[in-house]
Structure 1
């Protein structure tokens, strides 16, 4: 077994987190992905100040991801955008994800997939049990 050269490794950047999110999305069931048409997935370093205040966060590390928009349960979707309305978006926050990852015993890929499914689940109006089942299907 080879040893990891920790001296040459760097923290995953925005592009790496985005690649993990894209790979996780690609593993989701086809019927789930089809209903996500028009949902934009963005990766940022941190949530902005307005989001932190709106969500009642005490720290910029408190929020790993966020869904913004009108979910399917509320009549939202790619075909129902009103003029001037932003598309439904899922935000993943790199630094809070990395901080959480450093403190827990799970892979970064699993964490990104979990947060992505949870936030997309808000688009569908799904329960936590529904989201857990979809996540389990994506891991199979």
Structure 2
């Protein structure tokens, strides 16, 4: 048995951000092009306001979130004074999910990222699964 894990720590916010950036870079170019202007952020947990708005019982119930206007809605709203579209990845819930499942951390981050981007562009679950398959 390897003791390599004896000194390992959970990824920091910066390390999780780097993991998300690497996952985004592996997504198909045409898919990434749909995300122009979308800001990807990593936080430990969703805010209390998000938890209340989504009526979640625990901050561990949400792995990621798209905030903003999807592409279909985007054309109908004037951009003046509007915040950028954002994708939030929540480090602690993702790590908790990782600890309870057999998937790699990278595949979980990719899944959450694709799912949240999918909300931005209006993709079906089948479309998102296909994009994930190409990003692996």
Question: Scaled by the length of structure 2, what TM-score is found?
Answer: 0.94
Show structure 1 runs of 4+ deviating over 3 A. none
Deviation at 1:7, TM superposition (A): 2.5
Single out whichever of 42-51 and 14-23 deviates more from structure 2: 14-23
Unaligned runs of 5+ in 1: none
Alpha-carbon RMSD across the aligned residues, in angstroms, is: 1.4
TM-score (structure 1 length as normaliser): 0.91
Structure 2 distance, partners of 1:20, 1:81, is 33
Structure 2 gap segments, 5+ residues each = none
**Structure 2 Cα separation of the partners of residues 115 and 130 of structure 1:** 14
- Structure-1 separation of matches of 2:78 and 2:119: 17
Deviation at 1:81, TM superposition (A): 5.8
Shift of 1:83: 1.6
Give the 5 Å matches for 1:1-140: 3-75=2-74, 82-139=79-136
Output one character per residue of 1:62-108: Cα deviation in whole Å (capped at 9) or x when no partner: 000000000112235xxx76221110100000000000000000000
Matched residues in 2 for 1:72 and 1:137: separation? Answer: 22
